[in-house]
Amino acid sequence: MDRDTLTPQDRDSLRVLLDQLADLARRETLGWFRNPALSVGNKHQAGFDPVTEADRGTEHAIRQHLAKLRPQDAVFGEELGRQPGSSGLTWIIDPVDGTRGFMAGTPCWGVLIALADARGPFLGVIDQPYIGERFTGGLGQARMTGPQGARALATRGTVSLRDAILFTTFPEIGTAQERAAFMRVSDKVRLTRYGMDCYAYALLAAGHVDLVIEAGLNAYDIAAPIAVIEAAGGLVTDWQGGPVGERGQVIAAANAALHAEAMALLNHLPSGAGG
């Protein structure tokens, strides 16, 4: 099975299920957010890669729900790894994207859930439980809901870097070489901001910012943003214009013109050669 063989009934049921999973994740994560009882572990001795009860409990709850309703699908999550399936579809889960922000009490973390076939993610949600905002995209829809109501998602029409707003999560992005490449873009834009984790991608899909450039991401970090941003009219690739690969280099852009200009700077190409 892939996105092209889904019936209208399949599409409707998958959208409903995605909302159910996001609702479930809201309940699980909010039970731990700003809770003094939250304990934080570290997944890597060489550095700080935090994990909490919220991460593990939320992914476990999502997997349990999928096992009841879609046992034929594969599942890949940050905390519990890969579970094979037979349908050709894979659910990709990051139960708390931005655990550092979560443990610090900031509201810029999010729940990421995507559905992918062999061509990549085609349905996804970026959900911020504390603020109550949900950004959903794929299968012909791109919408957000939140305290100000519901509306369609659409990326901005900014066509020049000099007018663009750029985000990345960590100031020390990637390797020294990747940092230098990022700064070539940052030096050309109107405004560069840091942090936000997955919420930056939601802001791009909603038409508030223009670019997100990162390195070192995993598939579960970017699958849902790819689906949401593409549904909203933007594009997400690696720094060479192909699918996001193992190095996790990501450039998410509101439109092709910005994408080409930024990619040329990332790769030291002549102006206009990035398309």
Q: Where residue 57 sits, what CATH number does that domain have?
A: 3.30.540.10
The three-class DSSP label of residue 20 is helix
Quick check: is 13 in a domain?
yes
Per-residue pLDDT at 48? 77
Residues 183 and 87 placed together within one structural domain of the fold? no
Give this prediction's pTM: 0.94
Query: Which of 103, 112, 75 has its CA nearest to residue 91?
Result: 75
Quick check: is 29 in a domain?
yes
Quick check: is 273 in a domain?
no
222-275 residue pLDDT tens: 999 999 999 999 999 999 999 998 889 999 999 999 999 999 999 986 554 444
Domain interval for residue 126: 3-152
Per-residue pLDDT at 50? 85
Residues 138 and 23 placed together within one structural domain of the fold? yes
Phi and psi for 95 in degrees, rounded to 5?
A: -65, -35
Beta strands 211-214 and 165-168 are parallel
Which residues lie below 8 Å from residue 173, measured CB to CB, with a gap of 6+? 179, 182, 213, 214, 215, 216
Q: Domain tally for the chain?
A: 2
Quick check: is 222 in a domain?
yes
Residues 165 and 141 placed together within one structural domain of the fold? no
Per-residue pLDDT at 271? 52
Quick check: is 53 in a domain?
yes
Per-residue pLDDT at 68? 97
Phi and psi for 38 in degrees, rounded to 5?
A: -65, 130
Per-residue pLDDT at 275? 43
Domain boundary among 152, 178, 197: 152
Query: Which of 91, 176, 246 has its CA nearest to residue 83?
Result: 91
Per-residue pLDDT at 49? 78
Domain boundary among 104, 133, 152: 152
Residues 132 and 175 placed together within one structural domain of the fold? no
Q: How far is the C-alpha of 62 from the C-alpha of 222, rounded, in Å?
A: 18
Structure token digits, residue 231: 């549904």
Give the residue ranges of the chain where pLDDT is below 70. 45, 269-275
Quick check: is 271 in a domain?
no
Quick check: is 226 in a domain?
yes
Structure token digits, residue 193: 């901001």
Sign (positive or negative) of CA dihedral 204, 208, 211, 217: negative
Average pLDDT of the chain to the nearest whole number: 95
Quick check: is 24 in a domain?
yes
Domain boundary among 95, 127, 152: 152
At which residue do the structure tokens 């997997």 appear? 63
Per-residue pLDDT at 45? 67
Per-residue pLDDT at 192? 98
Q: How far is the C-alpha of 186 from the C-alpha of 16, rounded, in Å?
A: 39
Report the chain's terminal Cα–Cα distance, integer Å. 32
Per-residue pLDDT at 194? 96
Residues 194 and 248 placed together within one structural domain of the fold? yes
Residues 144 and 48 placed together within one structural domain of the fold? yes
